[in-house]
Structure 1
């Protein structure tokens, strides 16, 4: 193929600026990605899945329980290209950024209770690989997020106080019957937090399809206003950006939020007391301490952990 042919092929790549930036950070050539969005658009999940497949192809030896030390920069994101400012630049606050300013100003009035825990993703990784065999049949991309969303929704059934909002006068906590789980998404114009409505009624594949739709819409900056309304609980996945921990900020008038870090291979003890390699993810939770206590958050976190570490428990609690 000639250079002109390559250039022509590159121009056919359909991807939003946010997706192109993620591909750049992960060192991925978009020419090697098959887009699963409408008209072949490349989604963030396509990039993440590609990176995971590349990781899976390089098998790690665990027979001798040998762990390779990583240099401090081994997981660092590539340095972004930038042009140094030669004079002051004024950036108008509008669009999603304006909405974020208003929302965060209200949210920072809330006394936040923080709680962190780690979850072993070994069984979840196996489950997800099996589910991906059915992606074509269900016309949806199965990342870890739909599974996490469904696990959180199941846990919220046991802890309805976390799936709630407060009224303007702080006189009542309103526990919501619908689990409208908001998902923080990065866009070229800033943070946007649409929600998947009625997660408690949706199947895992329905959650995945709805998440795919919102991700594609956010990449095109075409989020429907209705998708931004009536959220009851928020999740933020910083793992796709290489993050491990986050101090999440509650989206008022909601009462709780969770942040999910990247998958890290770490040494852990198994049931036999032997050291083994484990796929560990750090979860960070925050709740409104005016109306939610630490014990409730800890129990909720433990329930989510039980679902994700033993997916069969999720199946047992489905109705």
Structure 2
């Protein structure tokens, strides 16, 4: 039978994870129709069927890893269309069997008011299965439940939760209680006969404690730990347990940047760019990396080298429905401020829609992570391994500040937190890098002089 082998996907890709089969055994599939969704170390993609066929067997289950060239499914021959069924011969009418005799009714003992009905033969309490199940769930003794119509129903057990008469929960039956007639006040009642000494009546047993029923608890949700989520977990674990993280934090007064961005925003919109603060931060980061190139590096442990990158690929951490992805703005040092804004928007949207190519998700040399307006006060970002630096950008807030004339004014403050690999970047170099980024963000005219 023809086999479906995992094709070569891209340079350097030797294995993938089977995320989801789009077809199941027995399904027809056309040539070039998507048959399985796979994930590489960065991107998710569909593998098409090379032929028109029917899936006979699936050899690699969802969540498993397959190597390039490995057989992942077997094709079978398409089943022939079923032949038309000939008209059935007319059969003589079947003789109608006599209806089975009705079962003899179960003798029931009449239930006294306020007591449970019982079988007259066995003495067992008569109740529906649903009533018995509900009573067991809530620890209710059916002997304590009065019944109507010779059998305890679920509604009568539920009537106990209202604290009233459980019989009120079932449909009302015609009352058998004689009507009481109130005599006029002028009629004097006859004196009562002297009461005879009666035997003491034992106190009723206390009713069992009842839990308030709020309906059935929904079952726990099981989310398969595979695909994008497992890849993210593997990358984070490798980074956290390999690199020696440390984080340096600085507060930045971006009051001047707020004004510059507001002035440039309308002009940018005319060019089709929604200008945020992120392109300014990217520009400041690149200038900081150029002054402290050790931060724009990776550690090659196997080769025993620190590789200082001479290109600037800025990864932009992007939240998607399946987890965090890091599309890359390549050669960001060669782009203008508006071009950086366009490229951030383009690769971020490609990542969110899972249409980003492998090239758009690889090749970063430094990463920026920002939650925008909900960026919080402080975070300690985890490195995008094997990079040695990542910058966390936090919310801009209006805050009272003291200006150069010792006057209290309203300023716009933002925290930046940079995490670094201490095996490569010393504390002094890491702090100096962030101070350089701060210098450009607090005085945007320096960005203009640097060729923004």
Q: Which residue of 1 aligns with 2:237?
A: 105
Q: Which residue of 2 aligns with 1:305?
A: 438
What is the CA distance between 1:268 and its match in structure 2? 1.3
What is the CA distance between 1:215 and its match in structure 2? 2.4
Q: Contact between 2:299 and 2:424, CA under 8 Å: does it hold in 1?
A: no
Length, aligned pairs only: 236
Q: Which residue of 1 aligns with 2:249?
A: 116
How far, CA to CA, are the matches of 2:433 and 2:252 in structure 1? 13
Q: Which residue of 2 aligns with 1:151?
A: 284
What is the CA distance between 1:131 and its match in structure 2? 1.3
* Greater relative CO, 1 or 2 (CA 8 Å, sep 6+): 1
**1:211 and 2:344 matched:** yes
Structure 1 residues 65-102: Cα deviation after superposition (integer angstroms, max 9, x where no partner):
xxxxxxxxxxxxxxxxxxx9722222112332222112
How far, CA to CA, are the matches of 2:313 and 2:341 in structure 1? 14
Higher-Rg structure is 2
Larger CA deviation: 267-276 vs 84-93: 84-93
What is the CA distance between 1:138 and its match in structure 2? 2.6
Q: Which runs of 5+ in 1 are unaligned?
A: 1-83
Q: Contact between 2:327 and 2:348, CA under 8 Å: does it hold in 1?
A: no
Higher-helix-fraction structure: 1
How far, CA to CA, are the matches of 1:107 and 1:205 in structure 2? 33
**1:167 and 2:300 matched:** yes
Give the 3-state SS of the residue equivalent to 1:266 in structure 2.
strand
> Structure 1 221/318 Cα, relative in aligned 2: closer, same or farther at 3 Å?
same
What is the CA distance between 1:203 and its match in structure 2? 0.8
- Alignment equivalent of 1:125, drawn from 258, 265, 273: 258
Q: Contact between 1:238 and 1:244, CA under 8 Å: does it hold in 2?
A: no
Give the 3-state SS of the residue equivalent to 2:248 in structure 1.
strand
Structure 1 residues 123-172: Cα deviation after superposition (integer angstroms, max 9, x where no partner):
11111112112224432211000111111011111111101111142621
TM-score, normalization: structure 1?
0.71
**1:87 and 2:219 matched:** yes
Give the 3-state SS of the residue equivalent to 1:102 in structure 2.
helix
Q: Contact between 1:165 and 1:175, CA under 8 Å: does it hold in 2?
A: yes
**1:255 and 2:399 matched:** no
1:261-280 residue pairs with structure 2 within 5 A?
261-280=394-413
What is the CA distance between 1:235 and its match in structure 2? 0.6
Q: Please provide the CA RMSD for this pair.
A: 1.7
Q: Contact between 1:259 and 1:285, CA under 8 Å: does it hold in 2?
A: yes
How far, CA to CA, are the matches of 1:88 and 1:170 in structure 2? 47
Structure 1 residues 247-276: Cα deviation after superposition (integer angstroms, max 9, x where no partner):
100111100001011111111111111111
How far, CA to CA, are the matches of 1:310 and 1:170 in structure 2? 41
Q: Contact between 1:244 and 1:260, CA under 8 Å: does it hold in 2?
A: no
Q: Which runs of 5+ in 2 are unaligned?
A: 1-215
**1:233 and 2:366 matched:** yes
Larger CA deviation: 100-109 vs 136-145: 136-145
Deviant stretches of 4+, over 4 Å: none
**1:195 and 2:328 matched:** yes
TM-score, normalization: structure 2?
0.50
Q: Which residue of 1 aligns with 2:274?
A: 141
How far, CA to CA, are the matches of 1:136 and 1:263 in structure 2? 22
